[in-house]
Amino acid sequence: MSKRPNVQVCSDKAKISAVSTKFIAAASNAATKDHGAFYVAISGGSLPKLIAPGLITAAKEKHVDFSKWHMFFVDERFVPLKHEDNNFRACHEALLSKVPIPPAQIYPMDTTLDTVEAAATAYEKKLATVVKTKTDEGRPKLDLVMLGMGPDGHTASLFPGHPLLRETKRFVSSLKDSPKPPGSRVTLTMPAINSAEKVMFVAAGASKAPVLPVAVGKCEDKIPASQVTGLRREILWVVDTPAASKM
């Protein structure tokens, strides 16, 4: 049985940002000290805006060496970069344009390729090439994956009952039938997420309350977020009071 995740219940958005930043900064400093880089992946949705304020302050106060960051994306909707649904655009607007990560160290999923599957294949190669820390099997080992969770318990673009949840080899895959529009997406898979050193979930709002106990392993049901496990590593849940109301 993997360790029970650490759940931090926050009274407001400022607290969510402060708790997230503390965890991210510690992960960044540990990774930079260990191997001179911080390989991190970020989700779309509400997460970028929720974590941004603390990280922007950390940049101003130089508590974090962003020059060592290599920013990947957990998933991407297969829409043009400037489309309102594009995760890279949203993350760039909320955070990446406001902290000093070298632009060459930010790796958007390429939605200009002919097919969503081609984009997934290209991203799997990018991940394997850039990330120098490896698992025992020689696969790219991210230092931190930052995830959200939908009201149905999905995370990344891995949805309840979807065949992608049974992927055991590929680290990046694609789907065309996302129940959350847009339908075509590229996503990290469970093997990629579960290979990471640390995982942080950010979940806010009452709509997450029914699934949060399941996601953190308080009952036997299974939803995608509860498949994010790890015997030895840290999994932190940063949630607000409404999301934690059924814990």
Provide the binding-site residues for ligand 6PG, judged by CB under 6 A.
43-47, 74-75, 87, 148-150, 155-157, 180
Of 55 and 156, nearer to ligand 6PG (C-beta) is 156
Of 27 and 146, nearer to ligand 6PG (C-beta) is 146
In one-letter notation, the amino acid at residue 214 is V
The minimum distance between CB 87 and ligand 6PG, in angstroms, equals 5
The minimum distance between CB 156 and ligand 6PG, in angstroms, equals 5
The minimum distance between CB 10 and ligand 6PG, in angstroms, equals 14
Of 120 and 149, nearer to ligand 6PG (C-beta) is 149
Please report how many Cα atoms fall inside a 13 Å half-sphere around the Cα of residue 221, on the Cβ side: 15
Q: Which residue has the tokens 């979940």?
A: 203
> How many angstroms separate the CA atoms of 152 and 52, rounded?
25
Burial of residue 98 (number of CB atoms within 10 Å: 0-12, 13-18, 19+): middle
Of 138 and 161, nearer to ligand 6PG (C-beta) is 161
Cis bond upstream, residue 182 (ω within 30): yes
The minimum distance between CB 40 and ligand 6PG, in angstroms, equals 14
